[in-house]
Amino acid sequence: MIPSQPFNVSWGNFSREKLADENFNIPGNIDLLLGAEIFYEILLPGQTNLLNTKLIFQNTVFGYIASGSIPVSSENKPHCGLIKDNVDLEKTMRRFWEIENVEPETIKNKETIICEEHFQKNHTRDSTGRYIVSMPLKKDPNCLGQSIDIDLKKLNSLWNRLKREPNYLKLYRDFLKEYKELGHMQEVDEREECGMYFIPHLGVCRSDKKTSKLRVVFNASSATTNGYSLNSLQYNGGVAQNDLFSIMINVNFSAFLWRENMDEPIKTFELSTVTYGTTSAPFLATRTLKQLALDEAGNFPLGSSVVMSDMYIDDVLTGAETLLEAKELKNQLINIFAKGGMVLHKWCGNNTELIEVSENYDFSDSSEIKLLGVYWNPKHDCFSFRVKIDLHELNTKRDVLSTIARIYDPLGLLGPVVAKAKIFLQKLWMLKIDWTDLLPDTINREWRQFVESLQVVNDININRCIVVEQPEVIELHGFSDASQSAYGAVVYCKSITSDGRMLVHLIASKSRVAPTKQTTIPQT
């Protein structure tokens, strides 16, 4: 035994000279490590206890060795904390650069292939049409350690906040009540807790959401006592759907603890559906939707095609040539999801006949809705942008990155604006200044001019439909250009009717900043 801090010992009738280490009560370095295979070879008969302590002395060939527990003083105990304010900014910047990248051809990795094979072998449907799937696991879940004590501590911490915020508590209760009524979770007997993985949970409030102001998220990356978590045992198959860029172009065994009140006993609930927060959840959820489309293609051909190609996570973005076709498509989508035990809600369209007043959830009273991160006005059928502008007299590197990262433009409709932002960002990086350093005067003036002009972006409206009605000819025209600062490419759609009416419309663009290292060999 090596203590973390010195402690006093009252020896009584025990002789200190009998000890293998007379200074065992003082912290020190490890002198010798013995393997378990020889530990019992060094033991000798003889064991004694010190009065009024929990120390046990065992006789060995080296002398008596001490083990047991000692009182730990909390005085002068050091505390270490970490405050990190760059996490959200880094995440936003990562999304900015991912959007700006040209989507490469999807290459299935080993884990994706394993997840696909596992899904095909193990998925079934019950009598109601719902799909039953299982997690693709790398290891036997029995290797997980204990997690109930960790989850209990986090539940108590959560209740400290719930007591302070009554509205947050109400939203939390309402969410879990609905979760239970929908059959997404069920209470289990305490006797069944052995072997369960308990998932910590937390409520995320979204005041901008019309139907769900709070959503409970589960943290399946929480480690158990042996370091393993549920997520560490799962394969990651990614999202089994088309990428966001393609869809935007077309549009054109787990449990958790809970208590209702602080004075009520804690209950154990078992999650009975695919749980977001687990590594395999995105794959299982999206692959199930794909399977639903494949299984019901014969009954609902229009709806099946849309689910396969025009769906991102749980949002459907699609359209039709005529109102009659759109109505039929809507009916097929409702029915195909009903076959899988799912309900589509929050309908929105650019024709009021598509949105029935009797529907419980719709956006008919909204002049503008968010469509996968981009704002869409259904009445005028156009896209718009909302960039939050923070104009400061003096600016830091963090201020610049924060503003640029808010420009969300998956199709490149704001290509020239984004290109200028990238050029400025490259110039800023070459200065090699820290996050909190103020920009030099000349750079700061240039940035302020850019931010002031950026406000015009919020007034831009771009038509969603890129072709004329009943086109006879559709052509795609691509252009590219380069300068010493940047290079880019853009694609336009040209559509012509039989009577000569014509429309040319921007489809998408991408840009890159020129590399800082100049090439010396001419390229041909």
What residue type is assigned to position 265 of the chain?
P
So what's the pLDDT on residue 358? 42
Q: Which range (6-20, 109-123, 357-371, 415-429) has the least confidence?
A: 357-371
**Banded model confidence at residue 93, pLDDT cuts 50, 70, 90:** low
So what's the pLDDT on residue 39? 80
Q: What are phi and psi of 194, to 5 degrees?
A: -60, 125
So what's the pLDDT on residue 255? 62
So what's the pLDDT on residue 72? 58
The more confidently predicted of residues 205 and 335 is: 335
The more confidently predicted of residues 64 and 76 is: 64
Q: Write the pLDDT tens digit of every residue in 449-463.
A: 988 888 888 888 888
Q: State mean pLDDT over 193-200.
A: 76
Burial (CB count <10 Å: 0-12, 13-18, 19+), residue 511: buried
Q: What are phi and psi of 346, to 5 degrees?
A: 60, 55
Computed over every residue of the chain, the mean pLDDT equals: 80
**Banded model confidence at residue 445, pLDDT cuts 50, 70, 90:** very high
So what's the pLDDT on residue 324? 86
**Banded model confidence at residue 114, pLDDT cuts 50, 70, 90:** very high
| Structure letter (DSSP) for residue 522 | P
Residue 327 predicted with pLDDT over 80: yes
* Residue burial 394-421, b: 16+ Cβ < 10 Å; e: rest: ebbbebbbbbbbbbbbbbbbbbebbbbb
The more confidently predicted of residues 210 and 262 is: 262
Starting at the earlier edge strand, list the strands of the sheet with 185-187: 185-187, 267-271, 254-258, 197-198
Residue 477 predicted with pLDDT over 90: yes
Q: State mean pLDDT over 176-180.
A: 88
Token pair 């901008």: residue:
208
Q: State mean pLDDT over 471-482.
A: 91
Q: Write the pLDDT tens digit of every residue in 236-261.
A: 888 776 665 555 555 545 566 666 67
So what's the pLDDT on residue 504? 92
What residue type is assigned to position 116 of the chain?
E
Residue 158 predicted with pLDDT over 70: yes
Residue 312 predicted with pLDDT over 60: yes
Q: Are 473 and 496 in contact (CB under 8 A)?
A: yes
So what's the pLDDT on residue 424? 87
Q: Write the pLDDT tens digit of every residue in 340-384.
A: 888 887 777 777 777 764 455 555 556 777 777 788 888 888 888
So what's the pLDDT on residue 254? 57
- Rounded distance, CA 14 to CA 1, Å? 18
**Banded model confidence at residue 296, pLDDT cuts 50, 70, 90:** very high
Residue 140 predicted with pLDDT over 60: yes
Instruction: Go through the chain and tell me how many residues it has.
Output: 524
Report how far Cα 451 is from the mean position of its chain's Cα atoms.
30
- In the beta sheet, which residues pair with residue 347? 362
Indicate the pTM of the whole model.
0.66
Q: Are 119 and 133 in contact (CB under 8 A)?
A: yes
